[in-house]
Amino acid sequence: MRKLLAILLLPLLLVVVGAALAPKLASQERLRAEALGLMRAATGLDAAIDGSVRFSVLPWPALEMERVRIGQRDGIGLTVPQLRIVLDLLPLVTGTARADYIALANPSLTVPDRVSNSDMLAGLLRRIGAGTVSGEIRVMDGLLRLADDDGDFTTTARMNATISWRGGSSLTLDGGFIWHDQPMDVDVAFSQLAALAEDRPARLRASATGPLGDLSYEGSFGFASGLSGEGAVYIAARSARAALDWLDLDAPTEGGFGPFALKADMLYSGKSASLSRVRLELDGNVSEGGFTLRLDEGRPQVQGSLAAGTLDLAPYGQLVLASPDGRDWSRDALDTKRLGRFDLDLRLSAAEVRSGAAKLERLAASAVVKGGKLSLAIGEAEGWQGIFRASAQVAPAPAGTEVRVELACEDVALAQALGDLFRTQRLEGTGSFRLTATGTGTDIAGIVNSLDGSFRLEGANGALVGLDAARILSRLAERPLSGVGNLRGGRTAFDTVAAEATITGGVADLTAFSMDSTRLAVRMTGTASLLARDLDLAGTAMLKDASGKASPFELPFVVRGDWDDPLLLPDPQALIRRSGAARPLFGPRMEATGILAPTP
């Protein structure tokens, strides 16, 4: 038994002794030629060695070389400071050298932007698919760099991975990347590569996982007409905003864009892709539909449609119209540059949409971004117990940003609709209103100050909140000089209400306002400064008798001050004229003082 063991170990001992003596007996030229031949056989690529070459025995027979350049052409360069070819032991016993694997320490691959990544990948995979060479490369702390025409590096990624391939069959990559300071574990498997040589599709299974999220694809791919294929794709991110920042992209809103997941069937070719059977989850909202994506000279273009059950817009916040103290319009500069970086045509339908306390049902909306201009439209939605339509256009202009808004509500609950849209709940009842306004400026305040447009409202069976006009008029009709006290508080019920206003240069001109009930009639005109947020209105209030006709008593009044808390003042001359007790006090002087003169 011992003799048999010695006989079996003798060849191995001879190999070890020969391997130990080989580095001393072989010349640099012989080692260099042997190394270049092994690399050519293992990779199919030519190489150049600028440094020394040596043969080592332990811990495993290997050729080690310094400053190696591989596949230098078309501006693509792979430089390896230290390269080690580990030899397969069994062929070495028979006197044949064959690489078991190639280890690259600190390699650097530089690819100019003018070189198509898909063309480079196609050439590599086609060579493997048409060849019979098999091999394995182990990359340790590799560096991938994309360079522009000036030689500046635009993208840099670090890699530790194992790349193995079987000629005519497959290529796999298993390892990790660090890109933009974020690590990713990557697992890629190409199979059926022989089909590529006949311009038929091969198979691809790829996945990437990291702290930001996960990405996977499984399906076919080919290069018959550029990079193309069909398969299932899955993308998930813990934070969509963080993922967009990682990709040097801006989120469209300041809020939201948290948890994100997309699952779809993808058909792609060249610089376009079509996603069908899409299931999209973002910030807890789930929608389904399809998309078409295309790159036009580096500019993303997106078309698609989505349908959802319930959408909650609360995470995305609201447009900041006021200053931090809430008293003035915002003067923060508007930035519409993001709109010029992509084109979008998105259609959305939802059974229910929530934004704060507001709720819209059966919504059909669209968002279009083209040439830096944004157009939003809600064709029709059920809201506030009625129908809501809206459109808005935002576009760059020489004087800043131009905004055009149209809102229309039909048969809605006025308190809820006006409260959600304009932050005022002074009118109750059911009614319809329409607003059209256009303005231009560098901030919200500037746009408000330049607004031109119109407003029209009609309502019925409601009340004006904050004032009981009928009670005040009844008291003044009986005792004109008794004092009016605090005019705030209460409600003025009405059967009908109507208002019309034109907006010019940020000033609303109330051309007509009427409010009627069985006991009261109110008429009012005046102006309101939208920028200063104040009122300057004047009108008359008339009591009606039991027959519904206006009584002789009419009370002129004015409304002035801040529109959030205006001051209502009755005309004192009218009260004096109404009072019979005033004539003995003034006597013949009432005409001289102008008290009996008509109120202006």
pLDDT in tens, the chain (600 residues): 444 444 444 455 445 545 554 554 456 788 888 888 877 776 667 788 888 888 887 777 888 889 988 866 656 778 899 999 888 776 665 666 777 888 999 998 887 765 566 777 787 788 777 777 788 889 999 988 877 666 565 677 889 999 998 888 899 999 998 988 889 999 999 999 988 878 889 999 999 999 999 999 999 999 877 788 999 999 999 999 998 888 877 777 778 889 999 999 999 988 889 999 999 999 999 999 999 998 877 788 899 999 999 988 888 765 544 444 446 777 888 877 777 778 889 999 999 988 877 888 999 999 999 888 999 999 889 998 999 999 999 998 888 899 999 999 999 999 888 888 877 778 899 999 999 999 999 988 899 999 999 999 999 999 988 777 777 776 666 655 555 555 566 788 899 999 999 999 999 999 999 999 888 889 999 999 988 888 899 988 888 776 656 566 678 888 888 877 777 777 666 555 555 554 554 445 444 444 444 443
pLDDT score of 589: 47
- Antiparallel, parallel or unpaired: β 53-56 and 76-87: unpaired
pTM of the prediction?
0.73
pLDDT score of 234: 97
Query: Is position 503 within any domain?
Result: yes
Query: Is position 585 within any domain?
Result: yes
pLDDT score of 300: 85
pLDDT score of 289: 95
| Beta-ladder partners of 405 | 392, 437
pLDDT score of 153: 57
DSSP E strand stretches across 88-179: 99-105, 108-112, 134-147, 153-166, 170-179
Query: Is position 215 within any domain?
Result: no
Nearby residues of 330 by Cβ (< 8 Å), 6 or more positions away? 320, 321, 322, 323, 443, 444, 445
Contact 228, 269 (CB under 8 A): yes
pLDDT score of 555: 80
Distance of CA 265 to the CA centre of its chain: 22
Q: How many whole angstroms separate alpha carbon 484 and alpha carbon 381?
A: 45
Query: Is position 94 within any domain?
Result: no
Q: How many whole angstroms separate alpha carbon 275 and alpha carbon 263?
A: 9
Positive or negative, the Cα torsion across 101, 107, 112, 113?
positive
pLDDT score of 594: 44
pLDDT score of 4: 45
Query: Is position 554 within any domain?
Result: yes
Q: How many whole angstroms separate alpha carbon 284 and alpha carbon 261?
A: 10
pLDDT score of 420: 80
Query: Is position 502 within any domain?
Result: yes
pLDDT score of 440: 93
Does the bond joining 59 to the residue before it have cis omega, within 30 degrees of 0?
A: yes
Query: Is position 540 within any domain?
Result: yes
pLDDT score of 32: 83
pLDDT score of 48: 86
Residue span of the structural domain in which 471 resides: 455-593
pLDDT score of 529: 92
Provide the domain count of the chain: 1
| Interior/surface letters 64-93, b for 16+ CB within 10 angstroms, e for the rest | bbeebebeeeeeebbbbebbbbbbeeeebe
SS3 at position 317: coil
Query: Is position 53 within any domain?
Result: no
Distance of CA 372 to the CA centre of its chain: 15
pLDDT score of 180: 83
